[in-house]
Copies of this chain bind each other. A is one copy, B any other.
């Protein structure tokens, strides 16, 4: 529906605006090498593009800036993927060089590096631990009415929770109980723990443990309220560097939302596999009206386990960020698969 010339103009305007943050006028456009026709022609085309909703004006006699629809079209059709540069690659790879086994550290460092590389805010959702399997369970009594339960997964992840012991519970039976739990629950995925405890272990415990009723529910509850995937941020204050956020009132609500962290959880989890770009109001959140969010998923084997995301202004370097995320998510998938694939 759009002519080649219109596409060219749209692309050049968007790319110019992404770098300059200034409305683009017909005269400055006509000076570009790619553009062989006059400023008057450009004006006519720009006028048409505006009528079609791809461009906007900030005031009647200003140059044009891309509309959300313009960005959308650009991202969907005009993007020229550009391979990351050598030094960018190197920086990305540096996440993997230390022989780190702990997932959380890899993920946290990823957020940091992505934010440094893009100058935007990086948000990384850690891998789901629900699918991980129990390697060992350990219960250490601390006082007559409290103990600490430690769960170790096959991926080297350790979680610990306080459990309140029922008043009538005999501390000496803890060891017995732990043995039973380990015998029965090792290699069970964390999500299935609760079920398994009630269906199989409860009966067993009843035979060996006094007062088993009260402890079973406590165990099942504490062991299975698995924490959701952890969320890591990098470059939380990078938004301050963007000229469009030079107004404190505007940036303040945004930074508050970023500080809350959890607000982004839903925004980022609900994406299917692959790379996705949400532009401005597509995010369904007035605070993010002037922001774009690019998400990429990563996996262990075939199973998608986490998400990388970059939050920037709508005037974002889409092609660079998309390439970066695509490259990095592949690498992360490879690494994780190698490390944790069973």
Contact = CB atoms under 8 A, between A and B. Distances in A.
A175 to B, nearest CB: 12
Given A135-B140, A146-B101, A152-B140, A240 B236 contact: no
A150 B156 contact: no
Contacts of A251: 240, 248
Contacts of A152: 140, 148, 150
A124 to B, nearest CB: 16
B148 A158 contact: yes
B138 A150 contact: yes
A162 B248 contact: no
16 contacts: A101-B162, A102-B162, A138-B138, A140-B152, A142-B154, A142-B156, A146-B156, A148-B156, A148-B158, A150-B158, A158-B158, A237-B255, A240-B248, A241-B252, A245-B248, A248-B251
Contacts of A150: 138, 150, 152, 158
A341 interface: no
A160 interface: yes
A154 B248 CA distance: 47
Nearest to A162: B101
A29 to B, nearest CB: 30
Interface string A121-161: 00000000000000110101010001010101010101010
Contacts of A252: 237, 240-241
What is the interface residue range for chain A against chain B?
20 to 34
Contacts of A237: 252, 255-256, 259
A246 interface: yes
Interface of A: 99-102, 135-136, 138, 140, 142, 146, 148, 150, 152, 154, 156, 158, 160, 162, 164, 236-237, 240-241, 245-246, 248, 251-252, 255-256, 259
A33 B255 CA distance: 41
Nearest to A102: B162
A279 to B, nearest CB: 24
A158 to B, nearest CB: 4
Contacts of A248: 240, 245-246, 248, 251
Contacts of A102: 162
A155 to B, nearest CB: 8
Nearest to A163: B101
User: Interface centre among A136, A148, A152, A255, by most B CB within 10 Å?
Assistant: A148
Given A140-B136, A150-B138, A150-B150, A162 B158 contact: no
Given A140-B135, A240-B252, A246-B248, A158 B156 contact: no
A304 to B, nearest CB: 24
User: Interface centre among A101, A102, A245, by most B CB within 10 Å?
Assistant: A101
Contacts of A146: 101, 156
Nearest to A138: B138
A236 B146 CA distance: 34
Contacts of A240: 248, 251-252, 255
